[in-house]
Amino acid sequence: MPTVTLATKVYHESQLRKINEILKGNIHELNVKITPAEANPRGWLQLSVSGEDEKIALNYLTSEFGSCTTSLEGIKKYSDLKGYIKAADKESLFVDFGISSPKTLDVRIPLPQLQAQLVDGRKIALIKIVNLYGLITNLPLEAKILSASIDRLEAELGEKQVNRYASWTESMLDRLIIVGAARGEVESVLKNAYLNRDVANIDDLGLLEHSVVCKLGTDAVGLIPKMGYRLRHATFAVFSPKRIIEFLGHDDSQLS
């Protein structure tokens, strides 16, 4: 019975039931038996699949959600990986990529890398960059490994991640980042709070992480009090193109 570690994390045991429902729903037409997904010691999802269509199921799951490399030996320079923001200090953003062998190790994205990629190389404090881009704990992030050793992993944001933020900024649409809720929960809250008229779309960043795209003229920060008490287990952040542009001193013509 092959076992796979998916590039998806769970932060609370209570979330496993919802995740298992989602995973089983995605492969319900295949002739397989799937063990309930469990969280490994770092919170990454592990599950086993058996049956006639197990190869198809495993290929689908790893293609849809990605696979997590838990061993440092599997990390190569310049490889692109999906991780989850763990913490930040004044000098670095720390991202959990699931490395647990031969020891637990987080990836460090130094402040100069973030300054170069997100704020035109300006000497801006990390806390300000975190607030501008909504870089909250447990947000999925794609990064490129720059160096790897037994004691230290360093990276920069992946090209896909940087392009995503550029595209979000150019759209001029606010986004409400929601971490810790399934898509169905987000959709239900938007409907029950009569907020659908203010929302253009929901972009999935992960199984439990989403970007709610606001319609032009809607401020994402205004959605938080209307949604927050219905999603008490979730955390929120705002991505505001207007705020980013004003902070960096751009005008619209410079973004085209």
* CATH at 179: 3.30.70
For 1-38, the pLDDT digits (tens) are: 788 999 999 988 888 988 888 888 888 889 998 898 89
Residue 28's pLDDT is 83
Question: Using 50, 70 and 90 to split pLDDT, how confident is the model at 113?
Answer: very high
Q: Which residue has the higher pLDDT, 255 or 140?
A: 140
Residue 14's pLDDT is 82
For 85-98, the pLDDT digits (tens) are: 999 999 999 999 99
Does residue 133 share a domain with residue 76?
yes
Domain range spanning residue 229? 175-239
Give a yes or no: residue 117 inside a domain: yes
Does residue 145 share a domain with residue 215?
no
Does residue 49 share a domain with residue 84?
no
Provide the CA 19 distance to its chain's centre, in angstroms: 15
For 31-44, the pLDDT digits (tens) are: 998 898 899 999 99
Question: Can you give the CATH number for the domain in which 110 is found?
Answer: 2.40.50.140
Q: Tokens representing 158?
A: 């992946």
Of 66-80, 121-135, 183-197, 214-228, the least confident: 66-80
For 193-214, the pLDDT digits (tens) are: 999 999 999 999 999 999 999 9
* 152-156 mean pLDDT: 96
Does residue 60 share a domain with residue 76?
no
Give a yes or no: residue 223 inside a domain: yes
Give a yes or no: residue 107 inside a domain: yes
The Cβ-side half-sphere exposure at 133, using a 13 Å CA radius, reads 27
What phi, psi does 39 have (nearest 5°)?
A: -95, 130
Residue 23's pLDDT is 87
| Statement: residue 235 has pLDDT above 50 | yes
Q: Which residue, among 215, 216, 234, has the nearest Cα to 224 in the 3D structure?
A: 234
Helix (H) or strand (E) holding 24: helix 16-26
Domain total in the chain: 3
Burial degree of 102 (CB within 10 A; 0-12, 13-18, 19+):
exposed
Q: What is the pTM of this model?
A: 0.90
Residue 250's pLDDT is 56
Contact between 25 and 87 under an 8 Å Cβ cutoff? The reply is no
Contact between 98 and 107 under an 8 Å Cβ cutoff? The reply is no
Contact between 209 and 179 under an 8 Å Cβ cutoff? The reply is yes
Does residue 147 share a domain with residue 90?
yes
| Statement: residue 115 has pLDDT above 90 | yes
Residue 82's pLDDT is 94
Give a yes or no: residue 169 inside a domain: no
Instruction: Give the chain's mean pLDDT.
Output: 92
- CA–CA gap between residue 177 and residue 244 (Å, rounded): 15
* Last residue in a domain, options 130, 164, 198: 164
